[in-house]
Amino acid sequence: MKALRWIVGRIILILNAIFSPRGMQRSEAEQQAVDAAVANMQLYQFETCPFCVKVRRHAKRLNIPLATRDAKVAPWDKELLEQGGKRKVPCLRIEDNGQVTWMYESNDIIAYLDKRFG
């Protein structure tokens, strides 16, 4: 089962690389504002998780330089579990005015990114 999961994961990554979306175009000032807003966000993810790939592709489509953290390795796995409450990916950590929100579910994350940056 582990070998099958590895093979399917590699296929997902290859297809993602081949059919990678183009990022939207913004003015330099607009892009700098987006970059500054995204600086306080991190996406906890597994590299080959289809739902994580879905969120990363959408972030790329919106031209959002979203920092990713591999939730399988320390210290990110522990941080996700202790601070986020569960080891579930994708998870978007949003820090705004000192308040931290942990957002799970790919569709919720995509809707949030669309609303904020779309």
CA distance 84 to 59: 21
In a domain, 14, yes or no: no
Distance (Å, whole) CA 72 – CA 64: 23
Q: Does 51 map to a domain?
A: yes
| Strand partners for 91 | 44, 104
Is 109 among the domain residues? yes
Query: In Å, how far are 13, 57, 72, 92, 117 from 47, measured between CA atoms?
Result: 8, 12, 9, 15, 23
Is the pLDDT at 109 greater than 90? The verdict is yes
Report percent pLDDT > 70 for the chain.
Answer: 100
- Percent helix, strand, coil in the chain, to 5, is 50, 20, 30
Over residues 68-101, the pLDDT tens digits come to 999 999 999 999 999 999 999 999 999 988 899 9
Domain contains 9: no
* Residue 70, φ and ψ in degrees, nearest 5: -75, 110
Domain enclosing residue 96, as ranges: 29-117
CATH code assigned at 70? 3.40.30.10
25 and 63 in contact (C-beta within 8 Å)?
yes
The count of structural domains within the chain is 1
Residues 6 or more apart in contact with residue 38 via CB below 8 angstroms: 64, 65, 66, 67, 117
Alpha helices in the chain (DSSP H): 2-18, 28-38, 50-61, 76-79, 106-117
Is 71 contained in some domain?
yes
On whether residue 15 sits in a domain, the answer given is no
Structural domain contains residue 4? no
Establish if 77 belongs to a structural domain.
yes
Specify the pLDDT at position 99. 93
